[in-house]
Amino acid sequence: MAPAENPAFWPLTLIVFLPALVAAGLSLPIIPKAREEIIRWSTLATTAVVFLLSLWVAVPHFFGAVGPGQFVVGQSEMQGVVKLPWIESFGIEYLLGIDGISLPLVVLTTFISMLAAAASWSIKKHVKAYHVLFLLLETGMLGVFVSLDFFLFYVFWEVMLLPMYFLIGVWGGPRREYAAIKFFLYTLLGSVLMLIAILMLYFTSDVRLLSDEQLIATHVVQPSTATQEIASLRSAESAVHTFNLMALAAVGQLPNSPFAATTVWLGISLETWAFLLLLTGFVIKVPVFPVHTWLPDAHVEAPTPISMILAGVLLKLGGYGILRICYPICPGAGLSLAWLVCGVGVVSMVYGAFAALGLCAAITPISRKLYMVGVHIGLILQLTFTGVFAVQSFRSFGVPEKADRHYLFVLMAAGSAAALYGMMKFKPKKEKK
């Protein structure tokens, strides 16, 4: 559908690509490197405009009547969907959309980017290059949250890698090269695993398995031309593959899903392998133990504005990918590997608590008690919510309530025992007078 035929095309498109367009403009020779104030103000103004656009999409009742592309609360389907053909031979599309999961993250990203742009006034070295990379980074982050095509999602995911590498490696602290290379290698590993999973799912998918209603709901076909497009799909002699995330989720949730029925290496289903590969790629970005070691170095060495983005946005991308992609496309594997996900989560929380408790020696005596109380309360809350999440996720798949009681009891008992051990082991020593 052409942009002129779809008024919803512009809001999401501008939110995603306006920073990249401004970055392209700033990179031109017409703006000399010496005009640093113009560059700084251009970046700040761009991020502010993008933030206001995201607010316009998110809270339409503040602006009167709901317009095209604005989010309507209470609707379960994707909203503001933008669809244009891109690489038609492989079924790759320019497909964007938002829902109740992605919208808050889009607003969060635009807001933190604006704050980080204001904090970037302290950058004095290579100002032009810094701001160009900064704006490209924002485009990459926003593109990940609104992409509904798996290939497009991966492109935006990779767009974030190079800007972040240079922003840390050039403008970071004394060990910036080490931190940047470490970040690059970890992220590259996750990207390679993700690409393998994407190709596995793409070549196994077949949209012909979906009903006519599902084809329309997942935007595989346009409502205006649904009859002709559906007839063309039904008449296809071979499988019709897709990168459409909504369609992949619909195929993955079919009773006869080809993802679950296809067996690959070691007799394990393709669904399970795809889930493990995608999960590994996403948890590196979260990150969780034991693939977390890049984060302390990146946080410490990154310049302050980039550290803000790293903590406020980039660490959320992994969790978003798990919720958006892993579980909807591979629900059976998500259920069978729930023990792995919950176990890794508990280990990461306990490990983090131990590390936090180990910092007590560096804290003043008055603050130490409050610090420990906060850590312990946080640990208990985390363990509690992990258990609640485990129960609810099991129930959502129709598992009888009795089936998960023993599992939950063991999980919570192990976590609580570890927490109590940590409290006793890392109890602060009394100050010597």
Closest CA to 252 of 216, 295, 204: 204
pLDDT given at position 398: 47
Quote the distance between the C-alpha of residue 287 and its chain's center.
Answer: 12
Token pair recorded at residue 275: 């889930």
Residue that is written with structure tokens 């103000």 in the block: 41
Residue 96 identity (one-letter amino acid): L
In the predicted structure, residue 362 carries a pLDDT above the cut 70: no
Which band of pLDDT confidence, cut at 50, 70 and 90, is reported for residue 153? Answer: very high
**Looking at 60-64, 207-211, 250-254, which range is the least confident one?**
60-64
pLDDT given at position 116: 92
What average pLDDT does this structure show over 194-214? 92
Which is higher by pLDDT, 401 or 137? 137
What average pLDDT does this structure show over 328-334? 90
In the predicted structure, residue 199 carries a pLDDT above the cut 90: yes
Question: In angstroms, rounded to a whole number, what is the distance separating the alpha carbons of residues 397 and 407?
Answer: 16
Percentage of the chain beyond pLDDT 90 is 28
Question: In angstroms, rounded to a whole number, what is the distance separating the alpha carbons of residues 380 and 409?
Answer: 15
Which is higher by pLDDT, 296 or 204? 204
What average pLDDT does this structure show over 185-200? 92
What average pLDDT does this structure show over 319-345? 87
Alpha-carbon dihedral 345, 351, 352, 355, rounded to 10 degrees: 180
Question: In angstroms, rounded to a whole number, what is the distance separating the alpha carbons of residues 56 and 62?
Answer: 8
Alpha-helical segments (H) within 286-364: 294-301, 304-309, 315-321, 327-329, 331-336, 338-357
pLDDT given at position 43: 92
Token pair recorded at residue 121: 């006034």
According to the per-residue pLDDT averaged within each range, which of 45-49, 210-214, 365-369 is highest? 45-49
Note the pLDDT tens digit of each residue in 131-140: 999 999 999 9
pLDDT given at position 143: 94
Token pair recorded at residue 409: 């009891």
Which is higher by pLDDT, 401 or 82? 82
What average pLDDT does this structure show over 229-254? 90
Neighbours of 346 (CB within 10 A): 20
Note the pLDDT tens digit of each residue in 101-139: 888 899 999 999 999 999 888 888 888 889 999 999 999
Note the pLDDT tens digit of each residue in 248-291: 999 999 988 899 888 888 888 999 999 999 999 999 988 888 88
According to the per-residue pLDDT averaged within each range, which of 122-136, 332-346, 404-418 is highest? 122-136
In the predicted structure, residue 388 carries a pLDDT above the cut 90: no
pLDDT given at position 23: 92
In the predicted structure, residue 417 carries a pLDDT above the cut 70: no
In the predicted structure, residue 176 carries a pLDDT above the cut 50: yes
pLDDT given at position 93: 92
What average pLDDT does this structure show over 80-98? 89
**Looking at 94-108, 205-219, 332-346, which range is the least confident one?**
332-346
pLDDT given at position 356: 65
pLDDT given at position 115: 92
Buried b (16+ CB within 10 A) or exposed e, 279-299: bebbbbbbbbbebbebbebbe
What average pLDDT does this structure show over 236-250? 90
Question: In angstroms, rounded to a whole number, what is the distance separating the alpha carbons of residues 212 and 87?
Answer: 24
In the predicted structure, residue 345 carries a pLDDT above the cut 60: yes
In the predicted structure, residue 366 carries a pLDDT above the cut 60: no
**Widest pairwise Cα distance in the chain:** 86
Q: Supply the pTM of this predicted model.
A: 0.82
Which is higher by pLDDT, 340 or 117? 117
pLDDT given at position 301: 87
In the predicted structure, residue 91 carries a pLDDT above the cut 80: yes
Residue 122 identity (one-letter amino acid): S
pLDDT given at position 399: 46
* Mean pLDDT over each residue of the chain, to the nearest integer: 81
According to the per-residue pLDDT averaged within each range, which of 85-89, 343-347, 377-381 is highest? 85-89
Under 8 Å CB-to-CB from 396, ≥6 apart: which residues?
Answer: none
Cβ proximity of 192 and 269 under 8 Å: no
Cβ proximity of 14 and 22 under 8 Å: no
Which is higher by pLDDT, 368 or 412? 412
Question: In angstroms, rounded to a whole number, what is the distance separating the alpha carbons of residues 193 and 181?
Answer: 18
